Copies of this chain bind each other. A is one copy, B any other.
Amino acid sequence: MGCAHCGAPTPNRLCKDCDLAERAEERARADGGMAKTSAEETFSAIVSADTFEDALDAIDCLVDECKIHLTEGGLEIRAVDPANVGMVDLELATPAFESYHASGGTIGVSLERLTDVVGMADSGDLVHLELDEATRKLAIRIGGLDYTLALIDPDSIRQEPDIPDLDLPATTRLPAGELERGVTAADLCSDHISLGADDDAFLMTAEGDTDDVRVTVDAADCTRHETSESVRSLFSLDYLDDMTGPMAGDVTVRLGNEFPVKLHWGFAEGAGEVTYMLAPRIQSD
């Protein structure tokens, strides 16, 4: 078994680096640090419903509730699923907004409720967000619709993951649709998919009880394809199915040998960025 955070080999739940990071974060929480909001905290923003929906979709395929950091540079969200297998790191920078003012602080939200409210918008509508400091509620305005969303105490939400900075030998950039096709094909005969890269191609393979499937994307059909060695890691299809859902445009896949995969893509004309990290399944043979 590997580290629950980064997948690196370790006899313990977490590897040494991740364990240190977790302890540091626990100290910060005990100090009422980052998760606590100061008295002068303010937040108001206007964003297109399409952009905000893209951001929320990228998170709610993994978790039901999350912390949103209201930094001066934009919104930041990090979350890990309850099984500690899939992580997401999202940034929606100020250029993605029509208007944005934030003085720092963190709010906790129910993603189901928030996506339902934003889903009331028609494509092209603007969503107005404003934090009420006194009541700790988020006012959401879409046209003549005013919704007052009760926030969740950030301290009650599952701790944010520390997404490790892995040195992964293979990097492939390809259309999200190709990745989704491989995941769908693997689903036909197995619960797992092996992602791999060699000099010539990006490979998605699955072995079922009786049938096999192999989807090959030639290096020439990728926007980018570089690898210093042949690599291959096995992943749960449940997670990859959920993660490919919100993807659009080109996705960068970073792979190692029996190591986590990192999936990165941008939205909102580059002002939004998402990184998923998924822990590998260790092959038993």
User: Chain A: residues with CB nearer than 8 A to chain B?
Assistant: 113, 116-117, 120, 144-150, 181, 184-185, 188-189, 210-218, 221
A117: chain B residues within 8 A (beta carbon)? 188
The 4 closest A-B pairs by CB, nearest first: A150-B210, A148-B212, A144-B216, A146-B214
Whether A147 contacts B213 in the complex (CB less than 8 A), given A185-B120, A188-B113, comes out as yes
Cα distance, A211 to B211, chains bound together (Å)? 51
A184: chain B residues within 8 A (beta carbon)? 120
Cα distance, A221 to B120, chains bound together (Å)? 19
Cα distance, A114 to B207, chains bound together (Å)? 16
A113: chain B residues within 8 A (beta carbon)? 188, 211
Known: A120-B184, A120-B188, A147-B211. 20 other contacts (CB 8 A): A113-B188, A113-B211, A116-B188, A144-B215, A144-B216, A144-B221, A145-B181, A145-B213, A145-B214, A145-B215, A146-B213, A146-B214, A146-B215, A146-B216, A147-B188, A147-B213, A147-B214, A149-B211, A150-B210, A150-B211
Give the distance to chain B from A177, nearest Cβ to Cβ, in Å: 10
A221: chain B residues within 8 A (beta carbon)? 144
A181: chain B residues within 8 A (beta carbon)? 120, 145
Q: Of the candidates B120, B145, B211, B216, which one forms a contact with A148 in the assembled complex, judged by CB atoms under 8 Å apart?
A: B211
Cα distance, A117 to B184, chains bound together (Å)? 10
Instruction: Considering the complex, give the chain B residue whose CB is closest to the CB of A201.
Output: B144
A145: chain B residues within 8 A (beta carbon)? 181, 185, 213-215
* A-B CB contact pairs (8 Å), 18 listed: A113-B211, A116-B188, A144-B215, A144-B216, A144-B218, A144-B221, A145-B213, A145-B214, A145-B215, A146-B216, A147-B189, A147-B211, A147-B213, A147-B214, A148-B211, A148-B213, A150-B210, A150-B211
Cα distance, A33 to B202, chains bound together (Å)? 45
Cα distance, A268 to B184, chains bound together (Å)? 28
A144, A147, A189, A221 pick with most chain B CB within 10 angstroms: A144
Instruction: Considering the complex, give the chain B residue whose CB is closest to the CB of A218.
Output: B144
Give the distance to chain B from A93, nearest Cβ to Cβ, in Å: 28
A188: chain B residues within 8 A (beta carbon)? 113, 116-117, 120, 147
Give the distance to chain B from A216, nearest Cβ to Cβ, in Å: 4
Instruction: Considering the complex, give the chain B residue whose CB is closest to the CB of A213.
Output: B147
Cα distance, A221 to B144, chains bound together (Å)? 11
Cα distance, A120 to B184, chains bound together (Å)? 8
Q: Of the candidates B147, B215, B218, which one forms a contact with A212 in the assembled complex, judged by CB atoms under 8 Å apart?
A: B147
Instruction: Considering the complex, give the chain B residue whose CB is closest to the CB of A202.
Output: B144
Instruction: Considering the complex, give the chain B residue whose CB is closest to the CB of A147.
Output: B213
Cα distance, A239 to B188, chains bound together (Å)? 28
